[in-house]
Structure 1
Amino acid sequence: MQTKPTKSIYWGVVRLLGNNFLMAATDEGLCYLQFHDANPAAGVDEGAWSELAKWARAQLPEPNWVEDAEKLQPYILQLEEYLKGLRTTFTLPLDLRGTTFQQSVWRVLHEIPHGETFSYSQVAQELDKSSAVRAVGTAIGANPVLIVVPCHRVVGKDGSLTGYRGGLRNKEKLLLLERAGM
């Protein structure tokens, strides 16, 4: 019986400009980027690791886990440039995994210009699914690659900051960073 080859997930905890991130990539591209509260020197906290492991189990059964900062360097470099205000778009390859609907929502997020925001309703309208605002919110919440897939650019209908997996404080910082660079 032939066994299915396992896919490698290269991961690491990265500290950039006062922010900690848990990052992972496959050979195809960046697949996971989340804010991480713990100090990188202390390793990955159990909550962050279990979230990454849960995501991986749903997307890539039985992956080969490889802690490899070298493999993550191109992604780290572009993220650092963004956080310094030197980059407004990402050109790195992505390995986004989700349902067809989630993928369509994430494509719309990529189209929101740097420094601008859309409401959840606007995202739903872009998909020609005006009544799917809740589903859009759920798909945005499932985004595994924060910042690069700019879900921080989605706000409430009245312009208020609403839920963000990376925390509202980080969402506000990202929006201020983008507005300052305009």
Structure 2
Amino acid sequence: CTMERTTNIEDLYPGRPRYRVSDFTWKELQHLDAGTWFHKKYVGEPLITLDDVIHRIDRTHTGLLAEISPCGHYTDIATDLADHLTTKPAYLSRALTHHQLAVQSFQPDDAHAFHTRLPTIPIGILDADRPTDTELQQLSTWADQINPQHTVTDQTLVDRIHQLGMNINVWTVDEPGAIRTMTNLGVDGIITDYPQTLTQP
């Protein structure tokens, strides 16, 4: 929810008491450099909005797995996201028809709030730890995906998630050997920083 690590906000707006997204106008945020922190070839990369993302991927083969990130001072993020997506009915219809949209969160409460508002959009639960069978059974009553860290994922977990009628997408799988292992387990999706690895022999 703050931007000191990933932008030049402190240099551009020195002396502000806080650097939360909500403390700035969109006009101010548009001047930020959101690329330099990652790599010098991205110097000057601006922030983009959800509408920008949708505009770029709509009517393409690219899907969107949006993440509701926890933010202590922004408690309505899940319902606000759902409400904003409802203003894009044509995109929603196309994306859902082609299975190109899902939303995920580490926070089951946020995920459930989103699901309650927009139940037609597949919802996933991110988990850094291995979920218990009790948790899986409870989540299976409303969640569509369980998305655990790949290091806690094995055949038993994959099979149980599938048995409960949910999909499993594992993260963050960057090493080719780990990608092969997860693929062999029968996961439904792989979340990676290097998608080109998935297309290499």
Q: TM-score, normalised by structure 2?
A: 0.27
**Larger gyration radius, structure 1 or structure 2:** 2
Q: Which has the higher strand share?
A: 1
